[in-house]
Amino acid sequence: MSQKPEKLIDKKGLRLDGRKPEELRSIKIEVGILPNADGSAYIQQGKNKILAGVYGPREMHPKHLARPDRTVLRCRYHMAPFSVQERKSPAPSRRDIELSKVIRESLQPAIFLEYYPRTGIDIFVEILQADGGTRCASITAASLALADAGIPMRDLVVACAAGKVDDTIVLDLMDTEDKKGGADVPVALMPNLNAITLLQMDGILTFEEFEKAVNLALKGCRKIYTMQKEALKAKYESVKEVEE
């Protein structure tokens, strides 16, 4: 696994898993699969398997963290010990804490926090299997879980990454591409408001490459957005079909 393949993109221009540079991994999304949570979603993006659960708005505990003017949004990103090749310690690592913050801050602008003062919303993101781009898939799933919980939102948030692999700008990097490639640019978007809520870059890109990567990631976001919307509607349309 750790050995670097000779080339990440072959002569035909295909990637390690046979994708074209501008192709997404196969995505499957389900909404409302955890009956105990107020809202939930599950996403499979390539080999990524991620569960997101949302609780709230509810009484804030500990109480001193509650704000008199708005809801407090909390997020926990956690990787299961079996989610990667080598066992990951279940204790929150530096990376887990950072990603929790990143996910929280990319979802925050979408929520009307001022509607429910003195309360808290908790988002739990559990990575069951990881294969690169988990922060993006987590944001996509968590925003669906929020909508499923009936929390008022300005827009859904959808995220996708683009990056540089063997001097080609590619969409939706998987683990090996992320680690051995040149750069990774995750982008989160509120598609209807056309607002970016997350933009990071890891690696080195020229200005032109960066612009190309961002635009490609945005294109990917919009593609995922249609799937996201369908998944959210599917929960209720299945009832409708039975009736007709």
Partner 1 sequence: MPTFFERRQLVTPGDLLAEGTYVTGENTYKENNKIYASRLGLVEYEDKKINVVALRAFYIPKLGDTVIGTIVEVGFSGWTLDISSPYLAILRASEVLSRPFRPQENDLAKVLDVGDLVIAKIMAYDRAHDPRLTVGEPGLGKITRGQVVKMTPTKIPRVIGRKGSMVSMIKQETGCHIILGQNGVILITGKSLKDEQLAMTALRKIECESHTSGLTDRISQMLKKEKAKQKEEIKNESKT
Check residue 239 for interaction with partner 1 (CB under 8 A).
Answer: yes
CB closer to partner 1, 110 vs 139: 110
Check residue 229 for interaction with partner 1 (CB under 8 A).
Answer: yes
Q: Pick the piece of the chain touching partner 1 (CB under 8 A) from 130-138, 146-154, 206-214, 216-224.
A: 146-154
Joined tokens for residue 157: 């948030």
Q: Which residues contact 40 (CB under 8 A, 6 or more apart)?
A: 31, 32, 33, 34, 51, 52, 53, 54, 145, 148
* Beta carbons of 90 and 82 less than 8 angstroms apart: no
Angle formed at CA 31 by CA 178 and CA 139, multiple of 5 degrees: 35
CB closer to partner 1, 81 vs 152: 152
Residue 216 C-beta: closest distance to partner 1, Å: 22
**Residue 72 to residue 170: CA distance in whole angstroms:** 36
Check residue 148 for interaction with partner 1 (CB under 8 A).
Answer: yes
Check residue 7 for interaction with partner 1 (CB under 8 A).
Answer: no
Angle formed at CA 228 by CA 225 and CA 229, multiple of 5 degrees: 90
CB closer to partner 1, 21 vs 117: 117
99-128: which residues touch partner 1 (CB under 8 A)?
110, 112, 116-119
Residue 80 C-beta: closest distance to partner 1, Å: 28
- State the number of binding residues for partner 1 (CB under 8 A): 35
14-43: which residues touch partner 1 (CB under 8 A)?
38-39
**Residue 93 to residue 97: CA distance in whole angstroms:** 6
Pairing status of strand 158-165 against strand 72-79:
unpaired
**Residue 50 to residue 128: CA distance in whole angstroms:** 6
User: Which residues are at the interface with partner 1 (CB under 8 A)?
Assistant: 38-39, 56-59, 68, 110, 112, 116-119, 147-156, 190-193, 229, 232-233, 236-237, 239-240, 243
